[in-house]
Chains A and B, each alone.
Chain A
Protein backbone atom coordinates (compact mmCIF):
# COMPACT_ATOMS: atom_id res chain seq x y z
CA UNK A 1 0.00 0.00 0.00
CA UNK A 2 1.32 3.42 -0.97
CA UNK A 3 2.42 5.67 1.87
CA UNK A 4 3.25 9.34 1.45
CA UNK A 5 5.25 11.32 3.99
CA UNK A 6 5.82 15.05 4.09
CA UNK A 7 8.64 16.59 6.05
CA UNK A 8 8.68 18.94 7.84
CA UNK A 9 5.15 19.01 9.24
CA UNK A 10 5.48 22.72 9.95
CA UNK A 11 7.82 25.46 8.83
CA UNK A 12 8.16 29.12 9.75
CA UNK A 13 10.45 31.34 7.68
CA UNK A 14 11.09 35.06 7.18
CA UNK A 15 9.87 36.69 4.00
CA UNK A 16 12.25 36.42 1.05
CA UNK A 17 13.72 33.02 1.85
CA UNK A 18 13.91 30.27 -0.74
CA UNK A 19 12.53 27.06 0.68
CA UNK A 20 12.08 23.40 -0.11
CA UNK A 21 9.19 21.18 0.91
CA UNK A 22 9.71 17.44 0.78
CA UNK A 23 7.43 14.58 -0.18
CA UNK A 24 8.42 10.92 -0.14
CA UNK A 25 6.45 7.90 -1.32
CA UNK A 26 7.03 4.18 -0.85
CA UNK A 27 5.78 2.75 -4.17
CA UNK A 28 7.50 4.17 -7.26
CA UNK A 29 4.78 2.85 -9.61
CA UNK A 30 2.92 6.14 -9.72
CA UNK A 31 1.08 7.83 -12.58
CA UNK A 32 1.84 11.35 -11.42
CA UNK A 33 2.73 13.49 -8.42
CA UNK A 34 0.56 16.49 -7.65
CA UNK A 35 1.18 19.39 -5.27
CA UNK A 36 -1.69 21.30 -3.68
CA UNK A 37 -2.12 24.36 -1.55
CA UNK A 38 -4.82 24.60 1.12
CA UNK A 39 -5.79 27.78 2.94
CA UNK A 40 -7.55 27.45 6.31
CA UNK A 41 -11.15 26.33 5.92
CA UNK A 42 -10.88 26.02 2.15
CA UNK A 43 -10.53 23.27 -0.43
CA UNK A 44 -7.31 22.15 -2.09
CA UNK A 45 -5.96 24.15 -5.00
CA UNK A 46 -3.76 22.34 -7.51
CA UNK A 47 -0.36 23.97 -7.92
CA UNK A 48 1.67 21.62 -10.08
CA UNK A 49 1.37 18.13 -11.49
CA UNK A 50 4.33 16.07 -12.68
CA UNK A 51 3.60 13.12 -14.90
CA UNK A 52 5.55 9.94 -14.15
CA UNK A 53 7.64 10.43 -17.31
CA UNK A 54 8.61 13.98 -16.36
CA UNK A 55 11.29 15.26 -14.01
CA UNK A 56 9.97 18.69 -13.08
CA UNK A 57 7.33 21.35 -13.59
CA UNK A 58 7.50 25.09 -13.04
CA UNK A 59 4.88 27.75 -12.43
CA UNK A 60 6.03 31.21 -11.52
CA UNK A 61 8.03 31.05 -8.28
CA UNK A 62 7.21 27.37 -7.82
CA UNK A 63 9.23 24.45 -9.10
CA UNK A 64 8.39 20.81 -8.41
CA UNK A 65 10.73 17.93 -9.12
CA UNK A 66 10.16 14.19 -9.20
CA UNK A 67 12.62 11.35 -8.70
CA UNK A 68 10.67 8.12 -8.97
CA UNK A 69 13.64 5.87 -8.38
CA UNK A 70 14.26 7.36 -4.94
CA UNK A 71 10.57 7.91 -4.20
CA UNK A 72 10.90 11.65 -3.68
CA UNK A 73 9.44 14.91 -4.84
CA UNK A 74 10.32 18.42 -3.78
CA UNK A 75 8.46 21.70 -4.07
CA UNK A 76 10.77 24.69 -4.29
CA UNK A 77 9.34 28.12 -3.47
CA UNK A 78 11.52 31.04 -4.48
CA UNK A 79 11.53 34.37 -2.68
CA UNK A 80 8.76 33.43 -0.26
CA UNK A 81 6.03 35.96 0.60
CA UNK A 82 3.50 36.19 3.46
CA UNK A 83 0.80 35.27 0.95
CA UNK A 84 2.47 31.89 0.53
CA UNK A 85 1.40 30.97 4.07
CA UNK A 86 -0.78 27.88 3.78
CA UNK A 87 -0.65 24.09 4.06
CA UNK A 88 1.00 22.32 1.15
CA UNK A 89 0.01 18.74 0.35
CA UNK A 90 1.45 16.29 -2.12
CA UNK A 91 -0.41 13.35 -3.65
CA UNK A 92 1.04 10.32 -5.41
CA UNK A 93 -1.34 9.40 -8.20
CA UNK A 94 -2.35 5.76 -8.67
CA UNK A 95 -4.65 4.27 -11.29
CA UNK A 96 -7.79 5.75 -9.70
CA UNK A 97 -7.05 6.98 -6.22
CA UNK A 98 -4.18 9.24 -5.23
CA UNK A 99 -2.49 8.87 -1.86
CA UNK A 100 -2.07 12.10 0.08
CA UNK A 101 0.55 13.19 2.56
CA UNK A 102 -0.47 14.97 5.77
CA UNK A 103 0.91 18.26 4.51
CA UNK A 104 3.45 20.88 5.52
CA UNK A 105 2.06 23.94 7.28
CA UNK A 106 4.03 26.97 6.11
CA UNK A 107 4.11 30.38 7.74
CA UNK A 108 6.03 33.19 6.04
CA UNK A 109 6.37 36.13 8.39
CA UNK A 110 7.12 39.70 7.27
Chain B
Protein backbone atom coordinates (compact mmCIF):
# COMPACT_ATOMS: atom_id res chain seq x y z
CA UNK B 1 0.00 0.00 0.00
CA UNK B 2 1.55 3.28 -1.12
CA UNK B 3 2.00 5.89 1.55
CA UNK B 4 3.02 9.49 2.13
CA UNK B 5 3.29 10.54 5.76
CA UNK B 6 3.66 13.96 7.34
CA UNK B 7 5.21 14.54 10.75
CA UNK B 8 2.28 16.38 12.34
CA UNK B 9 -1.44 16.72 11.69
CA UNK B 10 -1.76 19.89 13.73
CA UNK B 11 0.89 22.40 14.72
CA UNK B 12 0.70 25.69 16.63
CA UNK B 13 3.69 28.02 16.55
CA UNK B 14 4.45 31.59 17.50
CA UNK B 15 5.47 34.39 15.17
CA UNK B 16 9.20 34.35 14.52
CA UNK B 17 9.72 30.67 15.35
CA UNK B 18 11.54 28.36 12.95
CA UNK B 19 9.21 25.60 11.82
CA UNK B 20 10.05 22.25 10.25
CA UNK B 21 7.48 20.17 8.39
CA UNK B 22 8.61 16.69 7.46
CA UNK B 23 7.32 14.43 4.70
CA UNK B 24 8.28 10.81 4.00
CA UNK B 25 7.20 8.59 1.11
CA UNK B 26 7.72 4.85 0.73
CA UNK B 27 7.09 4.57 -3.02
CA UNK B 28 10.63 5.27 -4.27
CA UNK B 29 9.26 8.32 -6.11
CA UNK B 30 11.74 10.77 -7.64
CA UNK B 31 9.51 13.85 -7.36
CA UNK B 32 8.29 15.42 -4.15
CA UNK B 33 6.18 18.53 -3.65
CA UNK B 34 5.05 20.96 -0.98
CA UNK B 35 1.73 22.80 -1.40
CA UNK B 36 -0.31 25.07 0.74
CA UNK B 37 -4.08 25.15 0.53
CA UNK B 38 -6.21 28.09 1.56
CA UNK B 39 -9.96 28.66 1.17
CA UNK B 40 -10.75 30.30 -2.14
CA UNK B 41 -7.16 30.03 -3.40
CA UNK B 42 -6.91 26.33 -4.14
CA UNK B 43 -3.65 24.41 -4.07
CA UNK B 44 -0.53 26.50 -4.52
CA UNK B 45 2.89 24.98 -5.12
CA UNK B 46 5.63 26.18 -2.77
CA UNK B 47 8.60 24.04 -3.83
CA UNK B 48 9.25 20.77 -5.57
CA UNK B 49 12.21 18.43 -5.88
CA UNK B 50 12.93 16.05 -8.75
CA UNK B 51 15.95 14.36 -7.18
CA UNK B 52 17.99 14.22 -3.99
CA UNK B 53 19.52 17.63 -3.20
CA UNK B 54 17.64 19.19 -6.15
CA UNK B 55 14.91 21.76 -5.64
CA UNK B 56 12.88 24.16 -7.73
CA UNK B 57 10.75 27.10 -6.66
CA UNK B 58 7.05 26.86 -7.19
CA UNK B 59 4.53 29.67 -7.36
CA UNK B 60 4.90 30.98 -3.80
CA UNK B 61 8.39 30.19 -2.40
CA UNK B 62 8.84 33.43 -0.44
CA UNK B 63 9.33 32.78 3.28
CA UNK B 64 10.01 29.06 2.79
CA UNK B 65 12.96 26.83 2.13
CA UNK B 66 13.26 23.07 1.59
CA UNK B 67 15.70 20.27 2.12
CA UNK B 68 15.98 16.89 0.44
CA UNK B 69 18.93 14.89 1.73
CA UNK B 70 17.39 11.46 1.08
CA UNK B 71 15.12 10.29 -1.69
CA UNK B 72 12.25 9.42 0.62
CA UNK B 73 12.27 12.58 2.74
CA UNK B 74 11.39 16.19 1.85
CA UNK B 75 11.33 18.90 4.50
CA UNK B 76 9.68 22.31 4.39
CA UNK B 77 11.21 25.01 6.56
CA UNK B 78 9.65 28.26 7.66
CA UNK B 79 12.68 30.30 8.71
CA UNK B 80 10.66 32.84 10.69
CA UNK B 81 6.98 31.97 10.88
CA UNK B 82 4.45 34.71 10.28
CA UNK B 83 0.69 34.80 10.77
CA UNK B 84 0.09 34.82 7.00
CA UNK B 85 1.67 31.36 6.86
CA UNK B 86 -1.23 29.91 8.79
CA UNK B 87 -2.54 27.31 6.37
CA UNK B 88 -2.96 23.65 5.47
CA UNK B 89 0.31 22.24 4.15
CA UNK B 90 0.20 19.22 1.87
CA UNK B 91 3.10 17.06 0.75
CA UNK B 92 2.94 14.89 -2.37
CA UNK B 93 5.16 12.58 -4.37
CA UNK B 94 5.15 11.23 -7.90
CA UNK B 95 7.25 9.41 -10.42
CA UNK B 96 7.12 10.19 -14.13
CA UNK B 97 6.72 7.51 -16.72
CA UNK B 98 5.44 4.74 -14.48
CA UNK B 99 2.53 2.43 -15.09
CA UNK B 100 0.56 0.54 -12.50
CA UNK B 101 -0.41 1.51 -8.94
CA UNK B 102 2.52 3.91 -8.33
CA UNK B 103 1.71 6.26 -11.21
CA UNK B 104 0.28 9.70 -10.56
CA UNK B 105 0.58 11.99 -7.59
CA UNK B 106 0.06 10.80 -4.00
CA UNK B 107 -0.63 13.07 -1.06
CA UNK B 108 0.01 12.96 2.64
CA UNK B 109 -2.71 13.67 5.21
CA UNK B 110 -1.76 17.34 5.57
CA UNK B 111 -0.49 19.52 8.41
CA UNK B 112 -2.74 22.28 9.73
CA UNK B 113 -0.32 24.98 10.86
CA UNK B 114 -1.48 27.88 12.98
CA UNK B 115 0.92 30.76 13.62
CA UNK B 116 -0.07 33.00 16.52
In the complex the two chains form, is B42's CB within 8 Å of A103's CB?
yes
Instruction: Please give, as numbers and ranges, the residues of chain A lying within 8 Å of B108 by CB-CB distance.
Output: 43
Least CB distance from B92 to A in Å reads 8
Contact of A41 with B96 in the complex, beta carbons under 8 Å: no
Indicate if A91 sits at the interface (CB-CB under 8 A).
yes
B42 touching A42, Cβ below 8 Å = no
A100–B50 Cα gap in the complex (Å)? 19
C-beta contact mask, A62-104 vs B, less than 8 Å → 1, else 0? 0000000000000000000000000001010101111011110
Number of interface residues of A (CB under 8 A): 23
Which chain B positions have C-beta within 8 A of A32? 103-104
Contact A43/B110 with A93-B104, A96-B96 known, Cβ cut-off 8 Å: yes
Closest-by-CB residue of A relative to B50 is A96
Task: Give the interface residue-count category, chain B.
Answer: 20 to 34
Q: A43-B108, A96-B50 are in contact. Are A49 and B96 (CB under 8 A)?
A: no
When the two chains form the complex, which single residue of A95, A101, A102, A103 contacts B96, counting CB atoms closer than 8 Å?
Answer: A95
Other than A44-B92, A97-B48, give 19 A-B pairs with Cβ distance below 8 A.
Answer: A31-B96, A32-B104, A34-B105, A36-B107, A41-B88, A42-B109, A43-B4, A43-B90, A43-B108, A45-B107, A46-B104, A46-B107, A49-B104, A93-B104, A93-B105, A96-B48, A96-B50, A97-B45, A98-B105
Q: Could you list which residues of chain B lie within 8 angstroms of chain A, going by C-beta atoms?
A: 4, 31, 33, 42-43, 45, 48, 50, 58, 88, 90, 92, 94, 96, 99, 103-110, 112
Q: List 9 A-B contacts (CB under 8 A).
A: A32-B103, A36-B107, A43-B108, A43-B109, A44-B92, A44-B107, A45-B107, A96-B50, A98-B105
